[in-house]
Amino acid sequence: METLTYNGTQIEVNAEGYLKDMNQWTPELAREMASKENIELTEKHFDVLNWLRAKQAEGTPLSIRKIGNSGLVDIKQFYALFPGGPLKISSKIAGIPKPASCI
Amino acid sequence: MKKLLILGAGTAGTMMANKLSRNLNKDLWEITIVDKDENHYYQPGFLFIPFGIYQPEEVIRPKREFIPKGVNFVIDKIQKIEGEKNQVLLSSGTVLNYDVLVVATGTIPVPEETEGLKGKLWYKDIFDFYTYEGTTQLAKKLETWKGGKLVINLAETLIKCPVAPLEFTFLADAYFTEKGMRDKVEIFYVTPLSGAFTKPKATAMLNKLMDEKHINVIPDFYLQRVDNDRKVLISYDEKEVPFDLLVSIPVNKGDQMVEDSNLGDEDGLNFIPTDKHTLQSKKYENMFVIGDATNVPASKAGSVAHFEAEILTENILSYIIKEPLAAKFDGHANCFIETGYGKGTLIDFNYVTEPLPGKFPFAVIGPMDLLKVTRANHYGKLAFKWVYWHMLLTGKKLPVSTNMSMTGKLVEPIN
């Protein structure tokens, strides 16, 4: 079992570093995780992270397109906030599971 | 008389018409099916047309041949579902009422969703192959193409038949090799996914095949626009991929009617929120959705529609006698993957179990091998055309279980 220690608390993550329990997430933990991806979180980042967490909690499958339609950011801005693989990276920092791409 | 209305006479709708006409009491129920097109296309055959393996006429038959006697077949464009009033409006002005509605209006590629995709190079140097027109145009192009950079690009992760772009790529490699010009063609597979496919074991196997065939995979590329003058694909994060010939899998959307009826989900792609186990619409209890039209997290593929049709028939029969919807769809998909040179591989999976190696459909004897490249798998794929026309569309039982079976699969402990 892999764990991440933050502020003395052990947090369980999977092999790719995604939280196993989204309820263990805190904004401070998000900052810590983001810094490993070389991202410094701004208010805009947190808007996206909170939106992702809310959607995850209601069981909505997530996609880049859906975030582009959220009214929070467009897809280009989403890439600028979380460069590389924005959905994978933002999901990790938001403490939610890696989105399963539909096939 | 009670009325059961089916929208769409493609693979899913035609199967439902056949199954329901066999199972519903004809004295009590009138069944009507509506589609705008008189022709039924064998869509798995579109893949083979560009390489001259199938001729265009092999994939078309009149829809009427597959609609059972006693079912009304209406050829008209569907304009709008008015769920509150239990009625559907057609373009001609006809209004159809229903007691139970089955929506099977499928998905189509919409190149207009991406800037520059349907521009001046469309059907000159840019083609799709998921439409009859696209695949027949591409066949003509390949006959005379002199080589260069061939780019296969998926514009979106959620597409119909997610294995077809891989098959196209493998068949292209074999086609140019057999033509003696493979050294003049560089092949690039450009995908928004992190690898060749979505599920880990199948991706590892398919990435290896790509490598063996000298196909360059460019992952994590999410297409924003196509520059027609410079002939490059440009991603949202400004990465560029140049092409001489682009085979595009455009954004897939559900029918425009879904949007006009305000029935789509938040992706804005016109797929209908549907219970992934019962196939009942989340909005209206007398509306059911099947095949590519749903937003369930299963492949958009004929095999999925076939397994769904078994479940949905049971659930509609339960619904009309006011019993709970007991049949549960498990996300079962079963896909042959052509890998070129008369060989193929096979994957079988569902919502919770990824494609695993092993034998199919029977343990040890197979005869098909899962996640392995064999000749038997290729013949399985070719034989499927006959099965499709003669058994699948008309709703006959196939020797494959509706829910995915673990028989013959090799399981490793998952951490």
Of A15, A88, A100, the CB nearest to B297: A100
pLDDT at position A7 over 80: no
Closest residue, chain A, to B161 (C-alpha): A103
Q: Mean pLDDT over all residues of chain B?
A: 94
Which 8-state DSSP code applies to residue A72? Answer: S
In a domain, A50, yes or no: yes
The whole-number average pLDDT for the span B195-213 is: 89
- pLDDT tens track for B269-286: 999 999 999 999 999 999
As a whole number of angstroms, the distance between CA B75 and CA B87 comes to: 17
- Considering Cα of B265, then B270, then B273, then B276, what sign does the dihedral take? negative
In a domain, A88, yes or no: yes
Residues of chain B positioned with their CB less than 8 A from the CB of A83:
237
Asked if the C-beta of B198 comes within 8 angstroms of chain A's C-beta atoms, the answer is yes
As a whole number of angstroms, the distance between CA B168 and CA B190 comes to: 13
As a whole number of angstroms, the distance between CA B60 and CA B54 comes to: 11
Which single residue is written with the structure tokens 């998926």?
A: B154
Of B222, B266, B297, the CB nearest to A69: B266
pLDDT at B198: 78
pLDDT at A101: 61
pLDDT at A59: 81
pLDDT at position B413 over 60: no
pLDDT band (50, 70, 90) for residue B48: very high
**β-sheet with B240-242: strand ranges across:** B223-227, B232-235, B240-242
**Terminal alpha carbon distance of chain A:** 29
In a domain, A98, yes or no: no
pLDDT at A103: 42
Taken in order of first residue, the domains within chain B and their CATH numbers are 2-106+255-320 (3.50.50.60), 131-250 (3.50.50.60), 330-415 (no CATH)
- Please answer whether residues B104 and B6 qualify as being in contact, where contact means their C-beta atoms are separated by less than 8 angstroms: yes
- pLDDT tens track for B242-265: 999 999 999 999 999 999 999 998
Q: What's the token pair of residue B323?
A: 């019993």
- pLDDT tens track for B205-225: 999 999 999 999 999 999 999
Residue A70's domain spans which residues?
A: 2-93
- Please answer whether residues B293 and B103 qualify as being in contact, where contact means their C-beta atoms are separated by less than 8 angstroms: yes
| The Cα angle at residue B147 between residues B143 and B148, in degrees rounded to 5 | 145
The whole-number average pLDDT for the span B397-401 is: 82
pLDDT band (50, 70, 90) for residue A9: confident
Q: Determine which of B237, B300, B349, B352 to mutate to test the interface with A (most A C-beta atoms within 10 Å).
A: B237
pLDDT band (50, 70, 90) for residue B141: very high
In a domain, A83, yes or no: yes
pLDDT at position B410 over 90: no
**Terminal alpha carbon distance of chain B:** 56
- Please answer whether residues B35 and B13 qualify as being in contact, where contact means their C-beta atoms are separated by less than 8 angstroms: yes
Sequence-distant (≥ 6) Cβ neighbours of residue B10 within 8 angstroms? B35, B40, B104, B106, B291
In a domain, A81, yes or no: yes
Of A66, A79, A103, the CB nearest to B198: A103
Q: Mean pLDDT over all residues of chain A?
A: 90
pLDDT at position B13 over 80: yes
Q: What's the token pair of residue B56?
A: 């265009």
pLDDT at A3: 80
In a domain, A103, yes or no: no
Which range has the worst mean pLDDT, A41-55, B147-161, B190-204?
B190-204
Closest residue, chain A, to B296 (C-alpha): A102
pLDDT at B194: 85
Asked if the C-beta of A69 comes within 8 angstroms of chain B's C-beta atoms, the answer is yes
pLDDT band (50, 70, 90) for residue B397: confident
Q: How many domains does chain A have?
A: 1
pTM over 0.80: yes
pLDDT at B195: 85
Asked if the C-beta of A79 comes within 8 angstroms of chain B's C-beta atoms, the answer is yes
Are B267 and A63 inside 8 Å of each other by CB? yes
CA distance B237 to chain A (A): 6
Catalytically active residues of A are 102
Higher-confidence position of B203 and B36: B36
C-alpha of B213 from chain center:
25
Sequence-distant (≥ 6) Cβ neighbours of residue B132 within 8 angstroms? B41, B46, B56, B59, B60
CA distance A51 to chain B (A): 13
pLDDT at position B415 over 70: no
As a whole number of angstroms, the distance between CA A85 and CA B192 comes to: 9
| The Cα angle at residue B150 between residues B381 and B301, in degrees rounded to 5 | 30
In a domain, A55, yes or no: yes
In a domain, A34, yes or no: yes
Side-chain half-sphere CA neighbours of B353 within 13 A: 21
pLDDT at position B11 over 60: yes
Q: What's the token pair of residue B196?
A: 């060749």
- pLDDT tens track for B76-118: 999 999 999 999 999 999 999 999 999 999 999 999 999 999 9
